[in-house]
Amino acid sequence: MNDVTEYPGTSTPDEPPLGAMTLRPWPESVPRARHWFRKFAAAYNLACPIDDCLLMITEVVTNAIVFGKAEDDWLVRVEWHRDGRALRVEVHNPGFPANVRMREAAAHEAHGRGLFLVNALADSWHAGPSRFGGTVVSFTLQQAWPPGPVVYRPRSAHFE
C-alpha cells in the first residue's frame, strides 16, 4: 500500500498538504511515520531540527494510536503543511478531542510525557476536533524553511 501523497508547494487552508500518509493503528506505524518524515525533510531541505520533529512525530502518532477509538476499522492520518516559513504537522485519529491533555508524569511513571515534550520543542501545538471527525493534534515550527523560494528535491515516489 502506498501511503504517501506529495504536493510540492505551499499549503494553505484551501490547498492540499505538502504530504500526507495514512497509518494503521499498529505500533509498527510509528517508525513508518518517522521514516517518511525524514525523506520528506531531505526533499525540502528543512531548516528546523529534524531530530526534534522526529521525536514530536513519534509522540503524537503514538498517542493517536494508543488513544484513538472507533467501532470499525480506523486509520491515523498524518499531514505536513507549509504556511510561509512555518511547518505544521497534523495527526488525525478517531478519538475524542476532550481527552487530549498535557500532563506531568511522576518520576516513576514510564508514560505520559508526550505532549509535555511537544510543548517544550514546538513553537506551538493544538488539539481539537479534526475535519475528518475525531481528533487532530498538531504542532508548528515557525522557521522550518530557509528564507527564499521553496526548493523541492523529489526522491523516490514510494516511501516505506
- Dig out the grid coordinates for 70 from the structure: 472507533
Q: Report the alpha-carbon distance of residue 136 to residue 129 in Å, rounded.
A: 6
By C-alpha distance, which of 11, 8, 13 is closest to 83?
11
What pLDDT score was predicted for residue 45? 84
Q: Give, in order, the Cα–Cα distances in Å from 103 to each of 83, 99, 119.
A: 29, 12, 11
What pLDDT score was predicted for residue 150? 63
33-51 tens-digit pLDDT: 999 999 988 888 889 999 9
Residues 118-140: what's their mean pLDDT? Answer: 92
Q: pTM for the whole thing?
A: 0.80
Strand order in the sheet with 19-23: 4-6, 19-23, 76-83, 86-93, 135-141, 124-129
β-sheet bridge partners, residue 135: 93, 129
Pick the CATH number of 4-141 from 3.30.565.10, 3.40.50.1820, 3.40.640.10, 3.50.50.60: 3.30.565.10
8-30 tens-digit pLDDT: 334 445 567 888 999 999 999 99
What pLDDT score was predicted for residue 108? 53
What is the share, in percent, of the chain residues with pLDDT greater than 90? 46
